[in-house]
Chain A
Amino acid sequence: MVTIPRPASGHDSTTAAVDNVVDVRNLHVEFHTSLGTVRAVNGVSLGVPRGKTLGVVGESGCGKSVTAFAIMQLVATPGVIAQGEIILRARGKDPVNLLTYGKASDDMRAVRGRHIGMIFQEPMTALNPCYTIGNQIAEAILLHRTSDPAQADAMALDILSRVGLPSPSRLMTTFPHQLSGGMRQRAMIALALSCEPDLLLADEPTTALDVTTQAQILDVMRELQQHIGMSIMFVTHNLGVVAQMCDEVAVMYLGRIVEQASVDELFDSPKHPYTRALMRSIPQLGSGRKGRLEVIQGSIPGQFSKLAGCQFHPRCPDAIAGVCDVKSPSLLPIGDGAHVSCFLHHDPSGSPRSPEAVVAHAQSMTGAGGATVTSPN
């Protein structure tokens, strides 16, 4: 497997060879059910640059959230991490492969909450209804930072005042059901960041919120990212949020990363046909009400089905018969710092194709009366 997302060449500003807070390498997560094995994550490799935000996007069920939970080793049963490496480079700690720790080991528990925090999609259900906000935040602090309850309360109050909640001291004794969704998500962020983790896993944190609240929550996250100096892995299917929040983006399809690039690169010239299709399906302002929204043809294959070749080829407008449905492409660097897993961008042997060759190839496909090809831009 390739080491990503550090491109060997390119215009990335960070120069250190590897300065990712977390490197996920060749991660496989499987769910063994009575109906068969679901390979939810099927060889994912990605890295979260230190102090930066990595967006992970893709359709529902593509394995985004499972990847995040796998980093915490909190994949719900019957899911198991079948293979892979998760290298954590926390401040003041030697790099360690988290998968060498047992799921329930003290070592792993010392990482959860302390070095990696997590926030979830549903703020309405993410906090325990039976305990006050203060109690739930102080609980995490007491676990990792201090054993003095008074000090833990003071720290909890401090972090609560940072997430932009009104009268934080009153909130300490407030129960979750007394707060609105946006306030709960702020409280949840305060909880996840109470121990100043190196990495925040945000699993669709704004999906359940209205747009105004969403913008405020994103602001809070960015501010605290600066303040604590942490990295964020932002799982979402909202490309608008990605453009706003992220430095790098990894696009997932059916348990694999199909493309990882800087956010500008990805939005300017998406490489993978799936990414391009995703981009086209964003509604455009000013496109007129007559214009129909583009959709990605077909639907995600059943979770138990096994496809030969590239997982996207049945839905891909540019699929090359005899290649894409036979061989599975690997995630390989292409010229300008991005990584793509597609035979349009490199030969089955692994050497990159020139952009001209890609265009020529696409044209030949159109000429042959095959699928329609829309140019990336």
Chain B
Amino acid sequence: MITFLIRRLLFMVVTVVFISMISFVLIELPPGSALDAKLQQFRSRGLNVTSDVVKSLEERYGINDPIYTKYWKWISRAVYGDFGQSFYLDQPVSSLIGSRIWFSIGMSTAALLFAWLVAIPVGVYSATHRNSLPDYLITVMQFLGVAIPEFLLAIVLMFIASWYFGVEVGVLYSKAYRDAPWGVGKLLDLLSHLWLPVVVIGTHSTAWLTRVMRANLLDVMGAQYVQTARSKGLGERVVVWKHAVRNALHPLVMALGATLPALISGEVIVSIVLNLPTTGPLYVQALINKDMYLAITFLLFLSILLVVGNLLADLALAWLDPRVRLE
């Protein structure tokens, strides 16, 4: 198991390096650079930028360097936590991302937990009460959940929250806590504002996972060992929860690795709509402005999350199913 972990970790590093190279090239591909945007800024302010200045700036920022030189400059510092400078915002990338990435991860994890906690019991109920009225209702809700665009759901929920419940939306803290130091009160206040984005981000995965859970459980309920469990004299609840559900969880766990990045990219639109200080909106801004060090660093972190998510999924699967455990 230890050697397995070490090997997996090594592979992860290799994967991340490859991803960083490919994404670096992809981001470099479109014509123009962040400098152009910057110069545009200067010119619009009426500053006279001579071609000499442009040339010296280009040299200073290494705009015309070959791509491998640029990549090396960036990656050799990135290992030490220096991800370069944001052209557009004139701040170090690490400080820009650092303040937001934990918030993004936290919110995605919360959305993931929400999705699982809802999807598993609802899926189990739906499968064990197949073709009943509640099952049909759940199915309709699932299709709605999968089909409804997140921004629309965000707007509708925002409206409901502020109109009927008087909750302040579009912010993370109430006025009283906005500049207050961290404490229990502030945390509770944060949570009371956080449920809305969590629900919005998690709805799509919840609906989808419920569907997966239902289909799988129906499959497993037909398995021989479920009949074996019944033939021992076990009650239906034990048969379902101990013998069937555990075997039906596989695809959910397998999907875990892919769900995490999906949640994070789903979060972009929701964060823009709900005005949340997550990484999403900043990432989109960076891509629009060709703020390449910012963009590439985001991509890097997203891919690290994907790889870590996959490792976690594999470990969870090994815990769940003895057949995939390594001897």
Contact = CB atoms under 8 A, between A and B. Distances in A.
Binding partners A and B = yes
Given A113-B233, A143-B233, A191-B232, A126 B320 contact: no
B65 interface: no
Contact of A120 (B222, B227, B235): B227
Contacts of A127: 225, 228
Which of B230, B232, B246 has the most CB atoms of chain A within a 10 A radius of its CB?
A: B232
Given A129-B247, A129-B322, A140 B227 contact: no
B224 interface: yes
A113 B239 CA distance: 14
B321 interface: yes
Interface in A73-111: 74, 76, 104, 109-111
B222 to A, nearest CB: 8
A263 B228 CA distance: 30
Interface of chain B: mostly helix, strand, loop or mixed: helix
Contacts of B233: 109-114, 140, 143-144
Interface in B188-237: 222-225, 227-236
Nearest to B231: A118
B323 A177 contact: yes
B243 interface: yes
A110 B234 CA distance: 9
Contacts of A113: 231-234
Contacts of B321: 129-130
Interface in A119-150: 120, 122, 125-130, 136, 139-140, 143-144
A62 interface: no
Nearest to B220: A128
A125 B224 contact: yes
Nearest to B244: A128
Contacts of B232: 112-113, 139-140, 143, 191
Interface in A8-50: none
A332 interface: no
Given A112-B233, A113-B231, A143-B234, A130 B322 contact: yes
B219 to A, nearest CB: 12
Nearest to A141: B232
Interface residues of B, number: 21
A111 B231 CA distance: 9
A191 B228 contact: yes
Contacts of A143: 232-234
Nearest to B230: A74
Contact of B247 (A109, A128, A177, A191): A128
Contacts of A139: 232, 234
B225 A128 contact: yes
B235 A109 contact: yes
A126 B225 contact: yes
B230 A175 contact: no
A157 B243 CA distance: 22
B235 A175 contact: no
Given A122-B224, A175-B322, A128 B229 contact: yes
A117 B228 CA distance: 9
Nearest to B247: A130
Given A109-B235, A177-B322, A126 B230 contact: no
A163 B320 CA distance: 29
A317 B305 CA distance: 73
A125 B223 contact: yes
Nearest to B322: A175
Nearest to B325: A175
A321 to B, nearest CB: 44
Contact of B231 (A74, A129, A130, A175): A74
Contact of A130 (B224, B234, B246): B246
Which of A129, A130, A144 has the most CB atoms of chain B within a 10 A radius of its CB?
A: A130
Which of B230, B231, B234, B247 has the most CB atoms of chain A within a 10 A radius of its CB?
A: B231
Interface in B241-274: 243, 246-247
Interface string B64-104: 00000000000000000000000000000000000000000
Nearest to B238: A139
A136 B233 CA distance: 12
A235 interface: no
A129 B324 CA distance: 11
Contacts of B235: 104, 109
B33 to A, nearest CB: 55
A72 interface: yes
Nearest to A201: B231
B230 A125 contact: no
Given A109-B233, A128-B228, A139-B234, 16 more contacts: A104-B235, A109-B234, A110-B233, A112-B230, A112-B231, A112-B232, A120-B227, A126-B224, A126-B225, A130-B243, A130-B247, A130-B320, A143-B233, A175-B322, A177-B322, A177-B323
14 contacts: A104-B235, A112-B231, A112-B232, A118-B227, A118-B228, A125-B225, A126-B225, A128-B225, A128-B228, A129-B247, A129-B321, A144-B233, A177-B323, A192-B231
Q: Which 7 A-B pairs have the closest CB atoms?
A: A113-B233, A112-B233, A113-B232, A140-B232, A125-B224, A118-B231, A128-B225
